[in-house]
Structure formats: C-alpha cells, structure tokens
A and B are shown apart, each in its own frame.
Chain A
Amino acid sequence: MSARTGLVVVRLLGAGVLGVVLAVFTPLPNRLADYARVAPRLDAADAIVVLGGGVHPDGTLSCEALHRATRGLVLYHQGLAPLVAFSGAGSRGGPVEAEVYSRLARDLQIPPEAIVTVSGGRTTHEEAVALAEVLRPRRVHRILLVTNSLHLTRAAGAFEKAGFQVAPAPTDVVPTSVRGAQERLALLRQVALEVAARTFYRLAGYL
C-alpha cells in the first residue's frame, strides 16, 4: 500500500468517526438497540437464573446487578419458577457476587431452599457451564434467564449450548428511547460492544 493510499484509508477512518459523532444526534443508535435487544417471554420454568452484573469491593451490588436481582426476585414472587439461581464470581479477597445476591434474596423473604448460588463463572460462557453443572442434576431444563436485553441474545445462546431451554426475562436497564447525544453515544457503545462480544462468542464456538 502506497503512502498516498494509506493516507486515504486514514482519512476514511476519520470520516467514520465524524459519522459516529453525527449519528448520535439522530435516532439511529435507538433503532440499532431496538434491533439488537431481546423481548421478554415469561413462561413458567424450572428455575430463574440471574446472571452476575458486578459487585463493588465494599460488597454493594452495581446498578446493573441490582436491576437483575430485582427482576429475578419479582419473577420468583410471581410464581414463575420454584428456584432462583444466582451467578457471580468474586475478585481476589473481595465479595462473591452470588453470595451478595443470595443475602439480598433471603432479606426479601425468599426461602433458603429456593436459592442456589454459583460462583464459578467469570464470563457469560463460564457462567453457563458452571450453572449447567449445578442445575442439570437438579433436573432443571427450562430456565428464565435474567440479564439486560442487549446481553440476552448472547447469554441465551451460551445457555442453550450448555443444554438449557431458555425463556428470556430481560431487565429494562437498556433504555432504547434515550434522546440526548451523550445517552445515545452510551447506547451505541453498548450495542457495539455486544455485537463484538457476539462475534467473539461465535468464533470461539460458545454459541
């Protein structure tokens, strides 16, 4: 490639950046997010599976995790499954997310025998594998999978690959109706990250 061609490529990349900047002033990110998200299908299941969303070193759940926990607990109280499985690993010496979830569930009157915690998964793929090892012996086949609506396509694929029948139960923390440029940029970033992650999962054979 000659220097001149290289410079043209560099300028085209720059034009791409300007394109992204202009796009956040339009509803394009909202349309993309609408296309990428998964709609809920809330049927009765053998278990509700709440995926890890992050826990801070002081033991408090991240906003994302709190939304997921709340969604899972509401579904349990609606009687959609007799079991709630909480997934989430811990960092070195830090709190284990699944245990933080579990404490919250017990505080909210979920009976201990209805709670399962699995802390072996640090990625969505690892969570699917770890939960399969724990839930399959309990004859859990059909699950209500709780995570955000953009993450759900990849997560559902990983759990189906692990042998589950998945009914999506998205939280509503990805507001696709946002209007400001900053929020649209954040939405576009989330969509781009999820598309990249799905591509990686396909290439790695996790889906």
Chain B
Amino acid sequence: MAELLVVLIFAATSTVAWALNVTILRLGVPRLGALGADVLECLGFGVIFLTANVGVGMLTVFLLRGVTSWFVTLYVFVDVILVPVSFVQGVALFCWRRQSGTSHEVPVVRL
C-alpha cells in the first residue's frame, strides 16, 4: 500500500503542475497523446544512449584486456550512474531535434 501512496503523490504533483502551467504560466493545454509520445521519445533516446554506452564500454574493456595487461572490470559499465547520464544525453538529443525542427511540436489548445 505504501507504493500506492507514492503513485498517488506522482499523480497529485503532475496535476498541480498541469494546473499551474495552464492558469499562472498561461501555457496552452497539450494533447495528451502527443505529449505522451514526446515523453516516450525522450525516454527511448535515453535507452539508446544507455545501450550504446554499455555496449561500447564493454567492447573497450575487452579491447583493453586483450591488448594491454590492464584488467578493467566489466562492473564499471553497469554502474547506476550510467542511467541518469544516458537519459540526460537522450533529453539533449530530443531537445536538439525539437530546436532543429525535425521533431513535431506538441499541438496545444489555447484557453
């Protein structure tokens, strides 16, 4: 049940943020479908960067082990820190695409 409380808090803060954006910042109301697609796109780019970081990292480790006498543990590239860093890379790519016009804008309805 404690987990449910956490989910409820997420829902509450999201609703408050939505209300503040519409009433105080006077942002348009986004279409939820398009907004969700953007969120998924952002996360998806993060997954791609995470996969690339782990994959390239492991290949580098094997290369170092094979070519030099230096032993680097594979655990370096399964560190939790790779997750937020990769998702920052994903967000950066998403923003870049948005600024260069290659990604669609979320349609909004002005109140």
Contacts and interface: CB of A to CB of B under 8 A. Distances in A.
Interface of A: 7, 9-18, 25, 122, 179-181, 189, 193
Contacts of B80: 189
Given A122-B71, A122-B73, A10 B2 contact: no
Given A25-B3, A180-B3, A7 B46 contact: no
Contact of A14 (B3, B39, B73): B39
Interface of B: 2-4, 6-7, 37, 39-48, 71, 73, 78, 80
20 contacts: A10-B40, A10-B41, A11-B37, A11-B44, A12-B40, A13-B47, A14-B39, A14-B41, A14-B43, A15-B40, A17-B43, A17-B44, A18-B40, A18-B43, A25-B3, A25-B4, A25-B6, A25-B7, A179-B2, A180-B2
Contacts of A15: 40, 43-44
A181 B41 contact: no
Contacts of B40: 10-12, 14-15, 18
A18 B42 CA distance: 11
Contacts of A9: 44
Given A122-B71, A193-B78, A181 B3 contact: yes
The 9 nearest A-B residue pairs measured at CB: A14-B40, A14-B43, A10-B44, A14-B44, A13-B44, A11-B40, A13-B47, A17-B43, A25-B3
Contacts of A193: 78
B6 A181 contact: yes
B47 A16 contact: yes
Main SS of chain A's interface residues? helix
A31 B48 CA distance: 27
Contacts of B41: 7, 10-11, 14
A121 to B, nearest CB: 11
Given A122-B71, A193-B78, A14 B6 contact: no
A52 B45 CA distance: 37
Contacts of A14: 39-47
Given A14-B44, A14-B45, 6 more contacts: A9-B44, A10-B40, A14-B43, A15-B43, A179-B3, A180-B2
A180 B3 CA distance: 7
Contacts of B39: 14
Most chain B CB within 10 A, of A9, A10, A122, A179, is at A10
